[in-house]
Amino acid sequence: MTIGFGIGIPVVSWGVIENFANNWSMDFARFFGFQFNYWGSLFVAAGYIGMVMLICQSKSKKTAAYTRPFAAAGRMAFTNYLVQTIICTLVFYGHGLGLFGRMERIGQILLVFVIWVLQLIISPIWLRHFKFGPAEWLWRSLTYKKFQPMRRSNN
């Protein structure tokens, strides 16, 4: 984790600084600027893998309380992916608000944060009542060629 974040974050940060210095020029970003993120993200990913493994190995009840919403969001990954795609197309494309290329980076980060928080709140609530997310249910039903039971039993 330390090596991954220790190498990856400085490399990616250096790339951001270089891209800002070049005014996010497409010519610079396409041929040189993306290299920082490309290579740095491999190390950052290794850092995240290490961090998740450390968290998963923890036996603390406090850790379990924090990880439960992430587990629920993971169990509904397909549904959450589709929902965030729909939200973002409504925000950015012409059939919605049409903000593509007009929303500042801070606004983009805030939008991502809001979507994540909503998914971390809604996913556990949904899974208290249902076995799967809607997209996961549909996928399972199509796979088994039979409607799968969706509701949790009240046992």
Residue 146 confidence (pLDDT)? 96
Same domain membership, residue 95 and residue 138: yes
Tell me the average pLDDT across 66-89. Answer: 95
Domain of 131, in residue numbers: 60-155
pLDDT above 70 coverage of the chain, percent = 99
For 85-139, write each residue's pLDDT tens digit: 999 999 999 888 888 888 898 999 999 999 999 999 999 999 999 999 999 999 9
Residue 24: left (phi > 0), alpha (psi -120 to 50), or beta?
left
- The upper half-sphere exposure of residue 15, i.e. CA atoms within 13 Å in the direction of its Cβ, equals 19
Residue 154 confidence (pLDDT)? 67
Round the average pLDDT of the chain to a whole number and report it.
Answer: 92
Same domain membership, residue 53 and residue 69: no
Same domain membership, residue 86 and residue 101: yes
Same domain membership, residue 42 and residue 66: no
Q: How many domains does the chain have?
A: 2
